[in-house]
Amino acid sequence: MLRASEKRPALAGPFASPAPAASRVGAAELEPAALEFEPGRSIVAHAGSTIYEVLAIKRRGDGNIVVVDGGMADNPRPMLYGSYHHIVPVVAGGSLRPTTVFGRACESDYIGRVALPETLERGDLLADCTTGAYTYSMASNYNAFPTPAVVAVCGDEHELWRIGGRRYSEYGRARLSTATREEPPGAERAPPEFEFTYA
C-alpha cells in the first residue's frame, strides 16, 4: 500500500520479464523450473475499503482526534506492524486539517494520521482504503466487537457477501429471561444458557 506522496515502483531486473531467468536455468542445464509470482496484496488490496462511522471528535490546536466504530478488531495491521492505509471522507469537502484516527478499543487503537475535512462531524463516514488484503481475514471478535459485513460493489450495484457478526448481548437474551424466571421455593434452578454463535 502506498502513501499519497509515493509512486508505485517499476519492475526491474529478472522480475520485469521471466525470460532471462528461464534462459539462465536452461544454460546451467538444470532441471526445468517453474517460475511463480505472488503479487498478492498489490492486486487485491486496492479492491477493498472499510467504511467507518465517526463516533467522536476532539478538536485541538495541533489537529483533530477522531474515534470511529472500527479499529484493531477488524483491521489489526496498523497496530501490529505500523501498516499504512489511506483514509478519506466518503463525502469530500471543506478545508483539510491534520487528523489522528483511532478505533473504539480501549487500548491505543491507532489507525492513522491523515488530512481530513475540518468540518468533519459525528456520524460522517470515512473510507479506510486498500483493505482488500490481510485485513478482514485477520479480523476477530476482540473485545466482543462484532465483525463487519462484507459488501461487493460494482458500479451502482451491490451484493451482500457476508453478514456482519452480532454483539454478545444480542444472544441468549430470550433464553436468559426464561432461565431466570421465578421458580417455586426449593426448586432447582438451571444455570442461564447462552449461544455465542456468529452469522
Among this protein's residues, is 106 annotated catalytic? yes
Burial of residue 199 (CB within 10 Å: 0-12, 13-18, 19+) is exposed
Contact 141, 198 (CB under 8 A): yes
The set of residues, in sequence order, having a beta carbon less than 8 Å from that of 187 and lying 6+ positions away, is none
Reading the block at residue 87, the C-alpha cell is 483514509
CA–CA distance, 133 with 119 (Å, rounded to integer): 31
Marked catalytic residue, from 12, 92, 106, 174: 106
Residue type, 70: G
Helix (H) or strand (E) holding 99: strand 96-102
DSSP string over 3-63: -TT--PPPP-GGGT-SHHHHHHHHHTTPPP-------THHHHGGG--EEEEEEEEEEETTE
Residues serving a catalytic function are 106
